[in-house]
Amino acid sequence: MKPTPQNPAPSDAKARKEVEPVICYPADVLEPIKNDFRQLYRNDLTLIDSVTVPARDARCFHVPAGHYFRIICPDGPQVGDLNLWNANNLKEKFFSGKTRALHGTHVGVGDKLWSSLPFMRPMATITYDTLDWYGWDEFGGSVHDVIGTRCDPYTNQLLKESEYHYCCHSNLTRALVKEKKLTIEEAEFAVHDVLNVFMCTGFTQDTHQYFMKASPVRQGDFLEFFAEIDLLGALSACPGGDCSSEHSSDEAACYPLQVDILRPLCDLPIDWQKTKHTQYSGNHGL
């Protein structure tokens, strides 16, 4: 909560507050999803791999460019924390902050997951969401957020003064250590802020604090993506289960998640990776 103001409001305070807001990053110039081949080709896919993510744990998976992947809830209600990297260069990773600035606090069909600077390009495009019916609830909550970070042992130690090693940060770190044979330190610096898949979150209307509530996810629900580049992904099945009570807990009911990798049966357009967005020169005017 913010402290009580120490300064009186100026005489023109009302007028200052009534100034119309301006969208920082108008994204209407980005490619529309309607009639895009990513949307059309998703109806003709074949499964090439499937990865099970155990409850309170994480697993890595690979998605070749031009393939689709689905994060599926196969059993009980469960949310997941997603990390993405360029499979050939871990320095290029998912940039949740810029994705939020371009697409909003929660993402859905047609939105892209953007990579970190100086790369700044789409890593994946969301092509289907069985939870798109949820929209926004009366509390200002919605699903698939890019506002939360990831539950981690450091914040847990700060707030509860106890160690807990199945936080999503720890799960993702262990998965990356195993997959890439990294040291724990190397993996921790590579793990990054997440897309909270299936998680229902928002900000309270009074104190504007980040909140979570029971996810509406049901057995069989999935969020589907098209890989714009060769991807290495890591998914943690959050120790909070559906996050209806707490998100670092051995007591919450937790379930596995599943990642399916699918190949389109249709040949992709020859220039499908070519967009009107050109890479910045990187010279910064120097």
Classify 71 as helix, strand or coil: strand
The pair of three-digit structure tokens given for residue 115, joined into one six-digit string:
């990579």
- pLDDT higher at 270 or 2: 270
Report H helices in the chain. Answer: 13-17, 37-40, 96-103, 153-160, 168-180, 184-190
Q: What is the pLDDT of residues 115-156, one digit of tens each?
A: 999 999 999 999 999 999 999 999 999 999 999 899 888 888
Domain boundaries along the sequence of the chain: 31-264
The predicted pLDDT at position 163 comes to 84
Q: What is the pLDDT of residues 87-114, one digit of tens each?
A: 999 999 999 999 999 999 999 999 999 9
Q: What is the pLDDT of residues 217-243, one digit of tens each?
A: 999 999 999 999 999 999 999 999 999
Please check the confidence at residue 278 and state whether its pLDDT lies above 70: no
DSSP structural state of residue 43? G
The predicted pLDDT at position 1 comes to 60
Nearest to 240 by CA among 75, 73, 81: 81
Q: What percent of the chain has pLDDT over 90?
A: 78
The predicted pLDDT at position 34 comes to 72
